[in-house]
């Protein structure tokens, strides 16, 4: 896949000071708006398109920060990051999902062997990471979608507030339960993508990868009967199952993001652990019609092409459908740990690629 052009995402001073623009982990286009998130805060960022004479987007500006804690309760409060790894917009709702992961402390330069060993033995749980939030969008004074706490009978709500997170749903799963106590970068549980089809929500897992097979979890979130600020995973059928798992042959790679494209699902793939390596876009045709847990072999998936990646930098973390035209569909790709050439004085460049 060839990068056709770059689009600058411009951020205000505070977000640049917090380095949100260099930690982008999720993106979704919503008309003239672009929703992005970094993995070091508990916020979502809204940007607005600037178009050229040909009608194509040339930049995103008008940055506004949306604090998730203004709309839904955060398990650990506003001061702790939520490690947002996926965004979705569907039916007038904005969705944001945390990684649901544990983290192992890193060795820092200059530390003694003793301290380095101690840090590698330390595993940390941050409760805000176990959040799945759904926020109503209403038309603001400027005509752009505006997050609100309540819009008529629609209320901002979250899953993961009372030992009912996606990770809790998987506590007895025969495939995934053994990985719930494993840090994400050790091939433990790590949610890194969300897409919505109707009343179903797909969560892509960067890890674990099981003998080369990536995992996608499907749930049906709905309002909690006793508390409108909470969500609950609704059953799929009479058997009461509250989630489904799908196993995908992605050549040993994990899922880094999900993006709906009509009834299809576009899957950004990459290494599951803290490594640089191949990054590809894969199409699951007809994903919206899957009505049972699946095992998707390579003949059911189409590799659309590879994206550029660096060694220790330029990690593609998010994809969104940017444009549809007679000559094809274009994706916007955002990167974590960007190369120096991707940085601008006011933000960062995202790539635009044409799908084959």
Q: For residue 252, what are its two tokens?
A: 């040993």
End-to-end CA distance of the chain: 8
Q: Is 41 helix (H, G, I), strand (E, B) or coil?
A: coil
The Cα 269–Cα 264 span in angstroms is: 16
- pLDDT value at position 79? 85
Q: Is 348 helix (H, G, I), strand (E, B) or coil?
A: strand
* Domains observed in the chain: 3-355 (2.115.10)
pLDDT tens profile 108-139: 999 999 999 999 999 999 999 999 999 999 99
DSSP state of 80: S
Report CA-CA distances (Å) from 256 to 15, 185, 351: 23, 13, 16
pTM for the complete prediction?
A: 0.96
The Cα 104–Cα 186 span in angstroms is: 8
**Nearest by Cα to 335 from 31, 16, 39, 33:** 39
Q: For residue 30, what are its two tokens?
A: 């919503």
pLDDT tens profile 210-256: 999 999 999 999 999 999 999 999 999 878 899 999 999 999 999 99
């Amino acid at each position: 896949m060839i990068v056709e052009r770059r689009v600058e995402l411009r951020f205000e001073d505070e977000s640049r000071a917090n380095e949100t623009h260099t930690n982008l982990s999720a993106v979704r286009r919503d008309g003239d708006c672009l929703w992005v998130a970094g993995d070091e805060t508990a916020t979502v960022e809204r940007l607005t398109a600037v178009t050229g004479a040909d009608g194509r987007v040339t930049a995103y500006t008008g940055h506004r920060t949306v604090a998730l804690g203004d709309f839904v309760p955060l398990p650990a409060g506003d001061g702790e990051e939520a490690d947002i790894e996926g965004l979705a917009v569907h039916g007038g709702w904005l969705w944001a999902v945390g990684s649901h992961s544990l983290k192992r402390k890193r060795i820092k330069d200059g530390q003694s062997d003793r301290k380095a060993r101690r840090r590698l033995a330390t595993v940390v749980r941050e409760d805000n990471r176990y959040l799945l939030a759904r926020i109503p969008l209403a038309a603001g004074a400027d005509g752009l979608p505006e997050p609100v706490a309540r819009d008529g009978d629609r209320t901002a709500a979250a899953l993961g507030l009372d030992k009912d997170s996606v990770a809790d749903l998987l506590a007895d799963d025969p495939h995934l339960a053994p990985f719930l106590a494993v840090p994400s970068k050790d091939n433990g549980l790590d949610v890194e993508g969300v897409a919505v089809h109707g009343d179903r929500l797909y969560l892509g897992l960067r890890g674990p990868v099981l003998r080369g097979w990536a995992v996608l979890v499907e749930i049906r979130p709905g309002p909690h009967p006793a508390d409108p600020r909470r969500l609950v995973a609704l059953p799929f059928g009479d058997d009461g199952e509250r989630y489904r798992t799908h196993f995908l042959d992605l050549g040993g790679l994990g899922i880094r993001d999900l993006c709906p494209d009509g009834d299809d699902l576009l899957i950004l793939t990459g290494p599951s652990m803290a490594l640089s390596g191949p990054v590809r876009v894969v199409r699951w045709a007809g994903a919206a019609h899957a009505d049972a847990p699946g095992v998707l072999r390579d003949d059911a998936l189409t590799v659309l092409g590879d994206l550029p990646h660096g060694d220790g930098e330029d990690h593609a973390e998010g994809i969104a459908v940017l444009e549809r035209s007679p000559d094809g569909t274009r994706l916007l790709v955002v990167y974590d740990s960007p190369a120096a050439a991707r940085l601008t004085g006011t933000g960062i460049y995202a790539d635009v690629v044409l799908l084959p």
